[in-house]
Amino acid sequence: MNAFTRQLPKLMLALTALQLSAPALAQVKAPADSSNQVVVPQVDRRDVRLPRFPSNDFEAGLFGGAFSTQNFGASAVGGLRVGYHITEDWFVEAALGRTTVSDEAFTRVLPGGIFTPGNEKLQYANLSAAVNLLPGEVFFGRDNAKPSSVFLIGGVGTTKFNGQRQQGFNLGVGMKVFLRDWAAVRIDMRDHIFSVDLLGKRETTHNLELSTGVSFFF
């Protein structure tokens, strides 16, 4: 009994401390579960019309330059091109060109020349594919640079010359310098390969064309 009597004051003090701390513990609340809270916006939504931006995949342009017809010399050439860019590296293109061929060099050998009026129209229509090989920049001065690309191009087509229409090929190289996102200056060098029958002899000819022009993208 003496041991219990000695421990009784300590037990009474512990019970008193527990009673005093119970109200403080009751005031502590568990944190709210934020996952169960749903925020409902009170803003009325409105219809938004999305702007339409051009893709710039289509290309159209005019060109002019010199066309060297084998055996007949060089003359002015002009035409137009329409293309579609499949990817950043590949594009396809259709081109129409026209030049006037003179037989003046043959009049020294053949009286009256080869062509009855002295001049003959040469027209071609080509469908080609091209690949961009060297994208880069062209600098104009120290602080002005424009994007550029060098490409290889080749395809098939038809050529009408001296009353004959022949199938042929074209191979070449070109360069574009972009002045804006929608405009570029272009330089092309092309070899038009087709057969022609003159003076009763058919032969395959190589006809070089050097041209420059402008292209617009939309």
Q: Which two tokens stand for residue 177?
A: 């310098």
The mean pLDDT of the chain is 84
C-alpha distances out from residue 133 to 29, 52, 90, 136, 139, Å: 70, 31, 10, 10, 19
Taken in order of first residue, the domains within the chain and their CATH numbers are 58-217 (2.40.160.20)
| Amino acid symbol at 161 | F
Q: Which two tokens stand for residue 147?
A: 């994007």
C-beta separation of 155 from 192 below 8 A: no
Long-range contacts of 149-153 (CB under 8 A, 24+ apart): 149/175, 149/176, 150/174, 150/175, 151/175, 151/176, 153/93, 153/128, 153/129, 153/188, 153/190
Among 10-19, 89-98, 178-187, name the one with the lowest average pLDDT. Answer: 10-19
11 or 164, which is more confident: 164
Q: What percent of the chain has pLDDT over 70?
A: 73
Rounded CA-CA distance 57/82 in Å is 11
Among 55-59, 93-97, 195-199, name the one with the lowest average pLDDT. Answer: 195-199
C-beta separation of 189 from 182 below 8 A: no
- CA trace torsion 161, 166, 172, 178 (10° rounding): 70
Per-residue pLDDT, averaged over 117-140, amounts to: 91
Tell me which residue of 198, 186, 5, 49 sits closest to 115, measured CA to CA: 198
Q: Which two tokens stand for residue 39?
A: 């925020």
pTM above 0.85, yes or no: no
